[in-house]
Structure 1
């Protein structure tokens, strides 16, 4: 942007246009560039990007931007924005759960508050954590089995010691 007078309003306006056209990666890069150019983003800059990430259900990135926002601005962000991402399509607060299945062991997710293990109801579901790397997926089930076996062994030893 050399040759142009660049201030936080200019950068925020460009960021708004990028977000409006769902070019979120470019908007995030622009946010970093404003800092490098010596222009401090304000709460408007962060809110533009944060709202767009939340609408796109990109929770991890939204939480990271939220933290960055608290680090760089004195403005206290309204936490209700992050509440949007944790509400299922039924309008209820979506519980934050941990998967214990072999294929997604330990991954965290949000799902429908009314889900009972049988029916999906409103169908709301998204992973909060990225998928585990292939090596982790290979190792974790073996470690969980080892823990289970050791717990069983401990229980046996306790019973034999009490007898």
Structure 2
């Protein structure tokens, strides 16, 4: 199937629907894969930077192609989400510390 797509889309981009062959459009809707201009299948990744927290993007490992999947976030989201992520990370660290302390207390109780 990949060879068929390459022949149908040879000079075009898979994401520019104006020039994509109708059969390729149907295959794209069914398989939900996106082919880069270099012919490789892209991977969907999630950004966790402060500027784009939680935004998904398509990336080609061969040519470096990047395309956002979802729209940009509003200013309020950009203020709130990084703070929530930092809070979640601090809480997870506290859980790890509390679990280690609990294990030490259980060990001391068992040994006494």
Q: Which residue of 1 aligns with 2:61?
A: 113
1:124 to partner: Cα distance: 1.4
- Cα distance in 1, alignment partners of residues 98 and 53 from structure 2: 28
Work out the number of aligned pairs and report it: 84
Q: Is the aligned partner of 1:138 residue 2:86?
A: no
- Cα distance in 2, alignment partners of residues 84 and 152 from structure 1: 37
The alignment's TM-score, normalised by the length of structure 2, stands at 0.65
1:83–1:89 distance in 2 versus 1, CA, 3 Å: farther
- Cα distance in 1, alignment partners of residues 31 and 16 from structure 2: 12
- Cα distance in 1, alignment partners of residues 95 and 64 from structure 2: 41
Any idea what the Cα deviations from partners look like across 1:125-160, whole Å, max 9, x if unmatched? 110010111000000010000000000000000000
1:156–1:139 distance in 2 versus 1, CA, 3 Å: same
- Cα distance in 2, alignment partners of residues 92 and 134 from structure 1: 34
- Contact 1:95 1:112 (8 Å CA) reproduced: yes
- Contact 1:102 1:141 (8 Å CA) reproduced: yes
1:131–1:82 distance in 2 versus 1, CA, 3 Å: farther
Any idea what the Cα deviations from partners look like across 1:97-136, whole Å, max 9, x if unmatched? 100111101000001133xxxxxxx241110010111000
- Contact 1:88 1:113 (8 Å CA) reproduced: no
For structure 2, the residue ranges without an aligned partner over 5 or more in a row are 1-14, 19-24, 105-112
| Residue aligned with 2:45, SS | strand
The alignment's TM-score, normalised by the length of structure 1, stands at 0.46
Q: Is the aligned partner of 1:150 residue 2:91?
A: yes
The structure that is helix-richer by fraction is 1
- Cα distance in 1, alignment partners of residues 81 and 29 from structure 2: 35
1:84 to partner: Cα distance: 8.9
For structure 1, the residue ranges without an aligned partner over 5 or more in a row are 1-53, 58-76, 115-121
